[in-house]
């Protein structure tokens, strides 16, 4: 799922192309994506985009008269900017937004159909999409500490909970925890002040660095290769590959449809964390320490 750095660079690209532009037409190719019926989608046709916002991992087109189009990319949703007669991609196109200077295509690969589009009217209706997560890039140290310790969760769960922190998902939580040198399974209320400060610094640095990196990569063009797996990442998606800091093989914990990647040497004092499925399979043969693997 695109997270804060990717979504912010998307937002900037959309804002630079659509702010001040009037929506000429909307073409819905897959009606399942539209999750609201009132107001009708054609209510924004003929209205002008006044701002483009980001709420967590959502992109919001703010039109005249307090109409808001809320796009949630989820895992496989993406945006494309089409100009000069370029045709939209075939089966994966969900919606086309036609403007005088080009067409914004909302697409989704795969068959699970998780991406969504909502049209709401009024600022109060827009607030329903804000889960309340804290923006770590602008939060004070005290606000971060209070939010982190509000509930006693693992660090992985806390960082990816949109009610606690905004815009952080599976990929960047791995990168943040690696940068901070903290285990994904450490409980939040077990952290001392020094580790909390280290975690906040890591979160700010990782998100800011990747936003700048992706912005530079786009170089003013519309973002193309939006993915949660990038070869420059330290641990995320790099199971079995060497940690860029210490050279030890990156480990993983698999759960549901996700996995958490970490370096045992840098983050868990050499302890390999129990993967429920794999440890059940291997039982006594499951390695408990990096030196046993």
| pLDDT at residue 287 in the model | 47
| pLDDT at residue 214 in the model | 96
| DSSP secondary structure, 113-143, as one string | ---EEEEEESHHHHGGG----B-TTT--HHH
Reported as a single tens digit per residue, the pLDDT across 76-124 is: 999 999 998 889 988 899 999 999 999 999 999 988 889 999 999 999 9
Architecture label for domain 141-292: Orthogonal Bundle (1.10)
Share of the chain above pLDDT 90, in %: 84
Task: Please say if the pLDDT value at position 255 is more than 80.
Answer: no
Q: What are the extents of the domains in the chain?
A: 4-129, 141-292
Least confident of 45-59, 141-155, 243-257: 243-257
| CATH top class, domain 4-129 | alpha beta
pTM metric for this prediction: 0.92
Reported as a single tens digit per residue, the pLDDT across 11-42 is: 999 999 999 999 999 999 999 999 999 999 99
Reported as a single tens digit per residue, the pLDDT across 197-217 is: 999 999 999 999 999 999 999
Share of the chain above pLDDT 70, in %: 93
What does DSSP say about strands 67-72 and 49-55: parallel, antiparallel, or unpaired? unpaired
| pLDDT at residue 145 in the model | 97
The full length of the chain comes to 293
| DSSP secondary structure, 47-88, as one string | -BEEEEEEETTEEEEEEGGGEEEEEE-TTTEEEEEE-TTPPP
**Alpha-carbon gap, residue 173 to 99, rounded angstroms:** 36
**Alpha-carbon gap, residue 278 to 137, rounded angstroms:** 36
């Amino acid at each position: 799922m695109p997270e804060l750095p990717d979504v912010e660079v998307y937002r900037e690209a959309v804002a630079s192309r659509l702010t001040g532009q009037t929506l000429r037409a909307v073409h819905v190719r897959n009606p399942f994506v539209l999750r609201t019926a009132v107001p009708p989608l054609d209510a924004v046709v003929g209205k002008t985009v006044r701002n483009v916002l980001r709420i967590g991992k959502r992109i919001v087109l703010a039109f005249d008269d307090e109409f808001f189009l809320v796009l949630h990319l989820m895992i496989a949703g993406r945006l494309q900017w089409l100009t000069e007669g370029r045709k939209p991609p075939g089966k994966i196109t969900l919606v086309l937004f036609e403007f005088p200077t080009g067409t914004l295509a909302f697409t989704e690969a795969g068959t699970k159909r998780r991406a969504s589009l909502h049209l709401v009217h009024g600022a109060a209706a827009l607030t329903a999409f804000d889960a309340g997560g804290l923006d770590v890039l602008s939060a004070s140290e005290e606000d971060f500490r209070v939010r982190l310790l509000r509930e006693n969760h693992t660090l992985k769960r806390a960082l990816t909970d949109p009610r606690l922190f905004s815009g952080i998902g599976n990929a960047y939580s791995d990168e943040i925890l690696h940068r901070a040198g903290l285990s994904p399974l450490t409980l939040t209320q077990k952290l001392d002040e020094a580790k909390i400060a280290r975690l906040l610094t890591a979160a700010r640095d990782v998100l800011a660095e990747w936003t700048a990196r992706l912005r530079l990569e786009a170089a003013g063009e519309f973002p193309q290769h939006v993915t949660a797996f990038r070869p420059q990442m330290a641990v995320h998606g790099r199971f079995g590959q060497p940690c860029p800091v210490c050279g030890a093989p990156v480990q993983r914990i698999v759960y549901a449809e996700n996995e958490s990647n970490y370096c045992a040497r840098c983050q868990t004092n050499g302890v390999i964390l129990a993967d429920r499925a794999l440890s059940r399979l291997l039982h006594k043969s499951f390695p408990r320490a990096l030196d046993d693997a």
